[in-house]
Amino acid sequence: MLNIEVQLCGFVFDLILIFFISRHESVGLKSEKIFRQCLIIYTACVALDISSIIAIEYDKVLPLYVVHLVCKLYLVSLVTASYFAFAYTYNTVIHMRENATFKRAVLILGLVGAALIFISPISYYHQGRIVYSYGPSVIMTYIFSLLFIISTLITTFVYAGMMNMHRRKAIRSWMALEIAAAVVQFFAPYALLVGFGSALGLFILYSELENPEVYLDRVAGCFSFETFRMYIGQEYENLKSYSTVIVCNDVEIKKNDDDDKRKIIVEMSEFLNSFNFAKLFRLNDNDFALVYDKGQREMNEIESAVNLDVIRERFKSKWGENSVLNTRFLYIPNGHIVSSAEEFIEVYERNRFRFEKDEDMRILDESAGQDIKEYRQMVLEIKDALQTDRVEVFYQPIYSIETGKFVSAEALARIRGKDGKLIMPGRFIPVAEESGLIEAIGERVFSKTCKCIKEHNLKMKGVDYVEVNLSVSQCENPMLSSTYDEIMKLEEVHPKEINLEITESSTLNQRNILLENMNRLMNMGCGFSLDDFGTGESNLNYIVDMPVNIVKFDRSMVQDYFTNKRAEIVMRATVGMIKDLGLKIVAEGVETEEQVEGIKQLGIDYIQGYYYSKPLSKEDFIEFIETRNAS
């Protein structure tokens, strides 16, 4: 009986892996392709190992050159398998993967090894069931195989930071089994363990990294969002053209039963997965993306556009038993409106919530790509401004009708560009809010405002308090009150000299945290204003619910008062109700003497606007207050 039991076990292992992998759709990731190539090479290697034993067993029957050829093909397959293992590993390291010279050198090294194996002599040992080959050809195989295996191991240590923990451990385990099997077989040639060791290594790799299930969303059954990131990233690396249809569903599918929600997700996934030549991914929450990549830009654009019409029509119908979803669509005919997967995902996430009221589809072109580039550039500008202290505070004086003095001011954030010019808030505030940098800006403005109050003794100049804006994210930060308390103590500013402005917002998710912060700060002595009253978000209930001292009428509300009879009636009634609540009122955006007189007659307490002053730098503001309050 031939000594091939161990090899047969390894061969069966490999066939089982091939079977399971073939049952799933391929994503098309580079690592996935190389693993599949490794699996085929290693399976062929085990088959050649078995074939070489049979050839040696029947060397009396077969021509010598046939025996030599089969045995050397087996040895070459070992080196080839080790080469692919190294290729699988260095594919994770970007600068190695993209270095054509390096890859060419590695390939040449493998070809040199194969050539030396073929030209070197080989001998055989055949005694009973013990069959193996030896000699210079086998030595060359060990040298080149171990060279690739050791290179693979070294790569996992040198470039450990570029691989996740599971990948490092799986590859090292794989190579450890390869080395252990090779060492045993080198010192005990009759123990033919190399093929079986390789099969075990591949099984570890499959279990840890390359099981197709890891690429899938467990609910929808299509590819996951993380797989989408990797796939799109590869498309940009390979400079491939593709188009994308993104289906944007409600964040929450309003169903009482979680099982019903899952059924709807599965039903949508199965429908969308029926389109040929497209890969389906589930993105954030309940969104899906169809990616068309057929190599020809015109073809994938045409097909995706045609499918989009079919998809839009289907989503007008019911899902599940009786669910009509509020679905909208993003269509990207050419993915190269941006240059990386990160930018693409930002384009998707930024536009996903920017649909107009009756808009159900948006086509994203170069302007969307330019928008994200400008957004990223502004993020860098803000970060650099914070690091280099280019965030400045401007102050807009607020006039008291009762005293005829400027008794307060609103502190406003500005950024001084590297060219010395001011970047206005309309450009950087929305970016700061979206990127999460608004808290750092708000804290910096608060700190500088406190310094200004202390250094210039604003109280003695007639300024009772300064208003400082709070962003939504600051309001939701449980540490806000303690942080601001520390800053006021550090700058030796009394809390009564600070009035914090909040804006009603539908995006405020943690109102209880805001109320806790407000109560703590008010107990210290800080006051609160409700800013932008009169805009779409504001209503009288907010004034009742929030412990504010001052209500600030938005500029648009003030302007409408003088041009719209209905707005005039509403504003008069609103002023009466707010005054009955014992609150003060500031009118913003007052620009003419006529408006000043009208506001005074209305009974409003304070006026803020360009009639008196635009926002001023700290130095100009101090000069303004000293001059105007002196009389």
197-209 per-position pLDDT tens digit: 777 777 777 777 7
Q: Can you give the pLDDT at residue 631?
A: 66
- What sign has the CA pseudo-torsion 157, 160, 163, 169? positive
Task: Please tell me the distance from the alpha carbon of residue 167 to that of residue 31, in angstroms, as a whole number.
Answer: 11
Q: Can you give the pLDDT at residue 296?
A: 59
Segment 282-330, tens digit of pLDDT: 998 789 999 988 665 666 777 888 888 999 999 888 887 777 788 899 9
Task: Please tell me the distance from the alpha carbon of residue 40 to that of residue 49, in angstroms, as a whole number.
Answer: 14
Contacts 24+ apart (CB under 8 A), 84-88: 84/34, 84/37, 84/38, 84/41, 85/38, 85/148, 85/149, 85/152, 85/174, 85/175, 85/178, 86/148, 86/149, 86/151, 86/152, 86/155, 87/34, 88/31, 88/34, 88/35, 88/38, 88/171
Segment 47-65, tens digit of pLDDT: 888 888 888 888 788 888 8
For residue 256, what pLDDT band results from cuts at 50, 70 and 90?
low
For residue 132, what pLDDT band results from cuts at 50, 70 and 90?
confident
Among the listed residues 429, 427, 469, 422, the one whose alpha carbon sits nearest the alpha carbon of residue 445: 469
Tokens standing for residue 587? 């009118």
Task: Name the DSSP class of 401.
Answer: T
In this structure, the number of other CB atoms found within 10 A of the CB of residue 22 comes to 10
Q: Tell me the percentage of the chain whose pLDDT exceeds 70.
A: 93
> What pTM value is reported for the model?
0.71
Q: Can you give the pLDDT at residue 185?
A: 66
SS3 of 270, please? helix
Give me Rg for the CA atoms of the chain. 36
Contact 416, 386 (CB under 8 A): no
Contacting residues for 220 by C-beta, under 8 A, at least 6 apart: 265, 266, 268, 269, 282, 288
Residue 350 has pLDDT above 70, yes or no: yes
Among the listed residues 495, 499, 453, the one whose alpha carbon sits nearest the alpha carbon of residue 621: 453
Average of per-residue pLDDT across 129-152: 86
Q: Can you give the pLDDT at residue 297?
A: 60
Residue 111 is inside which H or E element, if any?
helix 100-119
Contact 478, 512 (CB under 8 A): no
Residue 347 has pLDDT above 80, yes or no: yes
Average of per-residue pLDDT across 340-364: 87
Average of per-residue pLDDT across 173-193: 73
Among the listed residues 393, 337, 397, the one whose alpha carbon sits nearest the alpha carbon of residue 369: 337
Segment 559-596, tens digit of pLDDT: 999 998 998 898 899 899 889 889 999 999 999 999 99
Give the HSE-up count for residue 613: Cα atoms under 13 Å, Cβ half-sphere.
21
Residue 127 is inside which H or E element, if any?
strand 123-127
Where is mean pLDDT largest: 120-134, 339-353, 495-509?
339-353
Q: Can you give the pLDDT at residue 537?
A: 52
Q: Can you give the pLDDT at residue 1?
A: 42
Q: Can you give the pLDDT at residue 176?
A: 82
Average of per-residue pLDDT across 103-109: 92
Contact 426, 463 (CB under 8 A): no
Task: Please tell me the distance from the alpha carbon of residue 126 to that of residue 176, in angstroms, as a whole number.
Answer: 29
For residue 182, what pLDDT band results from cuts at 50, 70 and 90?
confident
Contact 312, 329 (CB under 8 A): yes
Average of per-residue pLDDT across 255-264: 72
Residue 190 has pLDDT above 80, yes or no: no
- Higher-confidence position of 391 and 210: 391
Residue 544 has pLDDT above 70, yes or no: yes
Mean pLDDT over each residue of the chain, to the nearest integer? 86
Among 157-166, 325-334, 439-448, 548-557, name the one with the lowest average pLDDT: 157-166
